[in-house]
Structure 1
């Protein structure tokens, strides 16, 4: 699935992109906040659409690795509340992070989460 580089990523487009990953499914575990899971684990947080459009993804195995995003995009990336210390960042969809970087961040988050899943929960496709 591709995005038009001239248009900022819409929340719905990002949700569709996330749900296109093998084994991905939508969950609403907290008061309408939408997350996308693979197996039993979240790989993307999309919130409830009431705030600025963002995606929360695992940006590195450690906070130090994930901090690279903060250095490259100080206005459009920040550590996620509560789980930021584990390498999770919130990335703005309507800011200065280009579409390719956003989709690569989702891909990387998905891959890191799948790698930690028990084999019985990993997608076969």
Structure 2
């Protein structure tokens, strides 16, 4: 998947998530997706190529970086809790959608229960298969 397809796939997935919305708080070069005011995904070409920056469980983030050459620590973010995904041969639509949904669920899980648009423990799990 190339960089423009990566951005489109990630944005399309994010726009389907309950309560998610797009903002541009850092200017036109950054697309920032939030749920209830909390960031779960950033899209930019600032590092010189299209990238998607996502929240990830620290253990899973490490495993993803080991498994995929196109996943690196979060660009301008906490390297333990965020990953950067760029286009490449080993990046599939399914992988992008799973990573976006996982990021969203992690953020939703830290919201007060009354503000959670979905149950973060079950949302999106019925359709998931092993990566």
TM tier relative to shorter chain: 0.7 to 0.9
**1:104–1:24 CA distance, 2 compared to 1 (3 A):** same
State the TM-score, normalizing by the size of structure 1: 0.78
Give the 5 Å matches for 1:40-119: 40-47=37-44, 51-60=48-57, 62=58, 64-74=59-69, 76-80=70-74, 81-85=76-80, 87-119=81-113
| RMSD of aligned Cα (Å) | 2.3
Q: Which runs of 5+ in 1 are unaligned?
A: 1-6
**1:11–1:119 CA distance, 2 compared to 1 (3 A):** same
2-structure distance, mates of 1:68, 1:124: 26
Is the CA contact 2:24–2:31 (under 8 Å) kept in the aligned structure 1? yes
Q: Which runs of 5+ in 2 are unaligned?
A: 120-131
Q: Does 1:34 align with 2:38?
A: no
State the TM-score, normalizing by the size of structure 2: 0.75
Matched with 2:18 is 22
Aligned residues: 115
